[in-house]
Amino acid sequence: MPAIYDFEVTTIDGIRERLDVFRDKTLLIVNVASRCGYTSQYRGLEALYRRHQANGLVVLGFPCDQFGRQEPGTEAEIREFCSDTYDVTFPMFSKIKVNGADAHPLYKFLKSQKKGIFGLEGITWNFAKFLVDRSGVVVRRYGSRNTPEDIEPDVIAALEAAPSSAARP
């Protein structure tokens, strides 16, 4: 089975990179959208990132248009929206699918590691979040309604925790 660091993603600027660049960081991976009722969570995600970046937190934003066509823009439009509206500085990636046969392999992996409500794998809406510890272990999954402020205690705990013994080399 692959480890989180084995996955390759494309930045919003079109650069392919392996998640290995985030090794030893605590990750909060979020499927995002610009025209969603939860879009204002960008503000909280950015604040969380700025407060804890020096301690090893990295928020990773993955635009997704699978839910109500709430992310119809191009990567350039998404980047501009995030920058101009929410001053987003955390890493953003190219638009992906999180469900179905065409789901990005990263999201297939995340969903297999932590099930959602009622034990289902599928992502139910935009702004679902996965918390990954410094060892690359998916430790928690949150739904759209869980705000960055709600989950900050878990983020802090993950930042303060020793690397997991379940980690892979």
What does the block give as tokens for 52?
Answer: 């804890």
Read off the pTM.
0.93
**How far does the chain reach from its first CA to its final CA, in angstroms?**
12
Tell me the three state secondary structure of residue 84: helix
Q: What is the mean pLDDT of residues 79-95?
A: 96
DSSP code, position 53: G
Query: What is the spatial distance between Cα 62 and Cα 101, in angstroms, rounded to a whole number?
Result: 17
User: Half-sphere exposure of 161 toward its Cβ, with a 13 Å CA cutoff?
Assistant: 21
Measure Cα distances from 126 to 36, 37, 74 in Å: 7, 9, 17
Helix (H, G, I), strand (E, B) or coil at 105: helix
Which tokens is 70 given? Answer: 């709430």
pLDDT class of 118 with cuts at 50, 70, 90: low
Domains of the chain: 4-160 (3.40.30.10)
Which pair of tokens denotes residue 140?
């928690």
- As a whole number, the mean pLDDT across the chain is 92
57-63 vs 26-32, strand pairing mode: parallel
Asked if the model's pLDDT at residue 79 lies above 60, the reply is yes
User: Which residues are catalytically annotated?
Assistant: 36
